[in-house]
């Protein structure tokens, strides 16, 4: 079991007019529970469930503009009808990415071949925290990926040196959402899921460790 409190970061000075709360972009609170089972002397299987509370960070959780209803640009801002300036980007109730809290499921396997070679692999799934009506602002950072695959190995030629390699594949995931842009012949006032964002990633890393 592990728990990490919200990490309060100093504001991004160059983004005071973009991120809510004058450029603040804190790291959200998260917690997890997991178990590791040693199948035999060489194989260990681990499983985790993690919860990430994005809703506690205004710049991430505040609702963004609704592309499906331009008259409700600040739809979720409590000050929209009294002082709309408090809803602008950078304000305390300013536009955000509209993310919801996320639950992530993880499965990993480690195989100790011998004293020199170790191999690792893992799967990770978490439903996208981006609601379908929040695509407009999330074009800035389309973190739509839901499934990750990882693989790595380590080689220890002697007691002092260790070389490690890792690869991560984040599989493509596309989200679509409604906008006011209508195809020809569409009924007035109707909306269509004709906005889309997607993302996929490849990541490769290598490290060298030296025991002095």
Q: Mean pLDDT across the stretch 12-18?
A: 89
What's the pLDDT tens digit per position in 70-102?
666 666 676 666 777 778 888 888 888 999 999
Q: Mean pLDDT across the stretch 13-31?
A: 92
pLDDT value at residue 164: 98
Please give the tally of structural domains in the chain. Answer: 1
Residue among 40, 10, 38, 47 nearest 25 (CA): 10
What's the pLDDT tens digit per position in 26-71?
999 999 999 999 999 999 999 999 999 999 999 999 988 887 776 6
Over 90: is that where the pLDDT of 162 sits? yes
Give CA–CA dist 159/155, Å, rounded: 11
Q: Mean pLDDT across the stretch 138-156?
A: 95
Considering only residues 182 and 165, tell me which one the structure prediction assigns the higher pLDDT.
Answer: 165
Domain carrying residue 12: 2-210
CA 6 to mean position of chain CA atoms: 16
pLDDT value at residue 73: 66
Where does the pLDDT of residue 193 fall: very low under 50, low under 70, confident under 90, or very high at 90 and above?
Answer: confident
Mean pLDDT over each residue of the chain, to the nearest integer: 90
CA Rg value for the chain: 22
Give the HSE-up count for residue 124: Cα atoms under 13 Å, Cβ half-sphere: 18
């Amino acid at each position: 079991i592990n728990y990490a409190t919200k990490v309060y970061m100093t504001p991004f000075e160059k983004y005071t007019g973009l991120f809510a709360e004058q450029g603040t972009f804190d790291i959200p609170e998260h917690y997890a529970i997991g178990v590791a089972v040693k199948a035999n002397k060489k194989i260990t299987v681990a499983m985790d469930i993690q919860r990430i509370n994005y809703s506690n960070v205004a710049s991430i959780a505040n609702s963004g503009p609704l592309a499906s209803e331009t008259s409700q640009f600040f739809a979720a801002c409590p000050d929209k009808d009294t002082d709309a300036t408090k809803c602008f980007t950078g304000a305390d109730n300013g536009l955000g990415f509209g993310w919801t809290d996320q639950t992530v499921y993880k499965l990993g396997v480690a195989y100790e071949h011998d004293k020199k070679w170790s191999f690792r692999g893992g799967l990770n799934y978490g439903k996208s925290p981006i609601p379908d009506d929040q695509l407009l602002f999330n074009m800035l950072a389309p973190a739509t990926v839901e499934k990750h695959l990882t693989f790595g190995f380590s080689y220890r030629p002697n007691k002092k040196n260790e070389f490690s390699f890792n690869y991560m594949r984040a599989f493509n995931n596309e989200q679509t959402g409604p906008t006011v842009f209508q195809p020809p012949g569409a009924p007035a006032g109707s909306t269509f899921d004709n906005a889309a964002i997607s993302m996929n990633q490849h990541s490769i890393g290598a490290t060298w460790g030296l025991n002095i």
